[in-house]
Amino acid sequence: MKVAIAKERQTGEARVSASPDSVKKMVSLGMTVAVESGAGNGASFSDAAYKEAGAEISKSAKTLLADADVVLRVARPEADEVGDCPKGTLVIGQMNPYQETKKLEALAKQGLTVFALEFLPRISRAQAMDTLSSQANLAGYKAVIDAAAEYGRALPMMMTPAGRINPAKIMVMGAGVAGLQAIATARRLGGRVYATDVRPAAKEQVESLGAEFVAVEDEEFKAAETAGGYAKEMSDAYKKKQAELISESIADMDMVITTAQIPGRPAPRLIDEDMVKSMRPGSVIFDLAAEGGGNCALTQPGKMATKHGVKIIGYQNVPSRLAADASMLYANNLFNFLSLLYDKESKALKVDWEDEVVKGTLLSRDGALVHSRLTGRAEETETTSSTEKASEKGNGNG
């Protein structure tokens, strides 16, 4: 069975879908692995390192894909990028399924069997395959590091003969995977950290990391969680009270990290222009939801802008800013997923199409889209979809 690792061709994408270590694991199971020359350069993985791990190095994408059984990707390829793949080839990666349905139809028409790891079911045995969480964890860390680099002051309290430096006050909005890592990182850097989240259960997680929880903790808030641990919709009256509290809190912050995203929908607006105006000159906002339009009204996706004396960072694809570590974790996620589809005895693909993980992530097969969320066959239910729930719990960047 041949596994192909091609270069990522999206602008600004430095990650790669396999590391030398994951190649070694695949080869040890009897897979043949071919890597396009230069595929790992952005993540500091050389062709020599892949070759030493047991991979073949292909000089061209056409040669690489001509007889591939599986293609591993970081992001969804354009149809012409995988046009040389045989029909039935498995293409596995993050496919941006909500925004790119037409382009996914094109892949389906080429006869490719496409899996989107964004749709991975939230079950225990799938945790090691969870690319959203592995990448969000690094994004939360990097957001604090980048914000600190732009902040013109020290973060920890310092007592010196020349005077005292007070600790920076840092607000993290959203206590999911990215948010919790942002809290932990800000604490390690010596900041005084505050955090807010719509779920009562988040309070204990926030406080366990040494941060102060900010929320209107009335009776409605205490009941604002389903039996499954997901957020309920709050009343307009509560939303108003919470917004007032957050507005007051933000005015006293030196740095704010926002992390709220909902798959398939615009990012929720958490910070308006008046809140930005209320912050001290030199303060920094890092908006991890920039790709969804931003949690801040003044965010410019892909850029850093200064508005009302406040630096607002809207960098996109933040995990790619830590390409080596992000690629290593992502490659392990893909290896664990691929192992589910592979039979070690026959050394060939053996897909259980009824497996919950397979059914949950399969987008196209036999020339057509098959996932219910893309074909319109999904029924509306009282609860949100598993991926949307994951975002509310923070398994995306939220």
Both 164 and 273 in one domain: the answer is yes
Helix axes 131-150, 177-188, angle to 10 degrees: 40
Looking at residue 186, what is its pLDDT?
A: 98
% of the chain exceeding 90 in pLDDT: 82
Domain count, the chain: 2
- Indicate if the pLDDT at residue 42 is higher than 50: yes
Query: How much is the average pLDDT of 343-355?
Result: 96
Which two tokens mark 89? 């080839």
Query: How much is the average pLDDT of 192-219?
Result: 92
Both 232 and 146 in one domain: the answer is yes
Residue of 395 and 398 predicted with greater confidence: 398
Catalytic residue among 69, 130, 197, 254: 130
133 part of the active site? yes
* Contacts of 372 by beta carbon, 8 Å cutoff, 6+ apart: 378
Looking at residue 389, what is its pLDDT?
A: 41
For residue 340, the tally of other CB atoms under 10 A from its CB is: 16
Both 315 and 370 in one domain: the answer is no
Q: Beta 304-307 vs 310-313: how paired, if at all? A: antiparallel
Q: What is the pLDDT of residues 126-179, one digit of tens each?
A: 999 999 999 999 999 999 999 999 999 999 999 999 999 999 999 999 999 999
Instruction: Find the domain containing 340 and state its range.
Output: 2-130+323-383
- Distance, in Å, from the CA atom of 327 to the CA atom of 198, rounded to the nearest integer, reads 31
194 part of the active site? no
99 part of the active site? no
The CATH number of residue 93's host domain is 3.40.50.720
Query: How much is the average pLDDT of 340-349?
Result: 96
Average pLDDT, the chain: 91
Catalytic residue among 10, 37, 99, 127: 127
R_g (Cα) of the chain, nearest Å: 22
Looking at residue 225, what is its pLDDT?
A: 65
Residue 286: phi and psi, rounded to 5, are -110, 115
127 part of the active site? yes
Q: What is the pTM of this model?
A: 0.91
Catalytic residue among 141, 151, 194, 230: 230
Catalytic residue among 47, 98, 122, 247: 122
- Residue after which a domain boundary falls, among 299, 320, 341: 320
Catalytic residue among 94, 133, 181, 364: 133
